[in-house]
Amino acid sequence: MSSGILIFFVAALATVLFYSRRHSRLPLPPGPRPKFFTGNAHQLPKENTWLMYAMWAETYGPIFSFRVPNREFIVLSSLQSATELLDSRATTYSDRPRLWMYTLAKRNMIQFNMPFTHPYFKTYRTALKASLNSHTIQNYQSLQTEQSRMLLGDLYKNPKHFAENIRRNVGAVVLNVAYGWKVTENNDYFIGILQEGKEIIAILSQPGRWLVEAIPSLRFLPSWFPGAGFKRVAFDARQKLSKIDTTLFNWAKQQIHSGSYTHSFVSEQLLPEDGSTASAQQEDIAKWCSQGISAGGVDTTSSSLTSFILAMLHYPEVQKHAQAEIDSIVGQDRFPAFNDRDKLPYIGALVQELLRWAPVAPQGLLHRAMKEDVYEGYRIPEGATVIANIFSISRDEKMYPNPLEFRPERFLGSSPQVDPRKFIFGFGRRRCPGLHLVEASLYLNISYILAAFTIAKPLDARGEEITPPVEFENVGVLCHPKPFECRFIPRNKDLLATLSQ
């Protein structure tokens, strides 16, 4: 029997068993008509699946369903349905579905992937929230200020590589927060291995690529068997990611043991306040949570900052308004500081609009129904994968008139529109614990860049402006602007000269 025929019969058996477990008489939410064996797999695009979900929501409503072999999906496309289920019923929807490529690569201990029922889940989350809350992150303001100044210097000297400069800036902050590592050069070794890890994770999490996600029994195939190449990919990823984790964590441990270390998440966990020796559990917390901070922080914040650059090219009037606010409140003889934040409401609104206009994780991270539930007369089966389609919510015309436009003023005045931070950072007990650090980084870098430069469209060979398209691409479950060009025109060379002081 060929491997293709074997896989077909395994899929057929899994489908029959899956549907034999369905017993409730209540209907599933409406959705596109599935094929018997393959469900709706043939309709799902390989990239930008949230766009297909948005189209289906227009046809089937704010809650709809679809399936692939052995998995039922429920998609929530309104803020009301997402909050009523994922927030109000968090004990039912705080689990993660099993991603088999992650499991084979031994990545289930990272806090973002960890099952809700794991005995370490609450401990991990408590540790992260304690280290990344709005009060604690003030300890990193001098670090963020230093790195923002370095970013401006890089943009001035090497503007063509602005995306790489942004990633270096964000990576420097995250590595310091997680491990105490200080980045001093553009070609930093640790930033390089973080980039390598990101690329590996993006391969493992690529939607629709791995058949084992639809047919979990394939994981029992030996790695040499025809069609089991996914196991070799997962094993290779496991080795490379383990090396990355160990390199970063062991460096931080060595610094702590030497007595010459910078305060970080790892040092907090390995040096308990009572002076005792860190337990095995505390070592686990330090290793896996610090890895989560670095993995979750770099790509998300750098994507948002790159989207900010793109937005300013298309909305120069927003840029002028923001610069006018900085000039009038801060002046032109210094850069904005953290204590100016409350005095710059338009900058704050710009950050909110950026999060809404270009959501970094447009379909969020997946949730799993831990028991059968009923919502709006529809059945949500136990084990169903639940998706909060953040892209659809961010484009809800009832909440955000003219949603495709970048308009920070929608969050100002006596009747501001719905704050996107209610959904952009996730829901319930899976809400991103690093949201305060992300917002602080966005505020400072955006206000610094606007104080120093005017972001302008690139020029063609005839000296005429070129307007880059607003286009995004998948990087695993995240979304980034496609590469584009721009110019950074200095506004105040005297102010830029202070960067070297």
486 assigned ligand-binding residue: no
What CA–CA distance (Å, rounded) separates 54 from 61?
10
**DSSP per-residue codes, 44-95:** --SS-HHHHHHHHHHHH-SEEEEEETTEEEEEE-SHHHHIIIIITTHHHH-B
* Dist. CA 366–CA 97, nearest whole Å: 7
pLDDT tens digit sequence for 109-145: 887 888 899 888 999 999 999 999 999 999 999 999 9
**Would you say the C-alpha torsion 129, 173, 347, 160 has a positive or negative sign?**
negative
- Of the candidates 281, 309, 325, 232, which has an alpha carbon nearest to the alpha carbon of residue 127? 281
CA–CA distance from 98 to each of 7, 367, 384, 412 (Å)? 20, 10, 11, 41
- Neighbouring CB atoms inside 10 A of 228's CB total 18
**pLDDT over 50 at 169, yes or no:** yes
In the chain, the amino acid numbered 365 is L
Q: What is the pLDDT of residues 397-417, one digit of tens each?
A: 999 999 999 999 999 999 999
CA atoms within 13 A on the CB side of 342: 1
All domains of the chain in start order, with CATH: 3-500 (1.10.630.10)
Using left for φ > 0, alpha for ψ between -120 and 50, and beta otherwise, residue 252 falls in alpha
Would you state the pLDDT for residue 1?
A: 44
Rounded to the nearest integer, the mean pLDDT of the chain is: 89
In this prediction, residues 149-171 reach a mean pLDDT of 93
Global pTM reads 0.90
The residues that bridge with 73 in the sheet, in sequence order, are 66, 385
Burial of 464 (0-12, 13-18, 19+ CB in 10 A): exposed
**What does the pLDDT average to over 45-71?**
91
For residue range 183-229, list pLDDT tens digits in order: 887 788 888 888 888 888 888 887 778 888 878 888 888 888 888 88
Nearest to 285 by CA among 98, 114, 90: 114
**CB-based contact 394:329 (threshold 8 Å):** no
The amino acid sitting at 26 is: L
Secondary structure of residue 437 in the 3-state scheme: helix
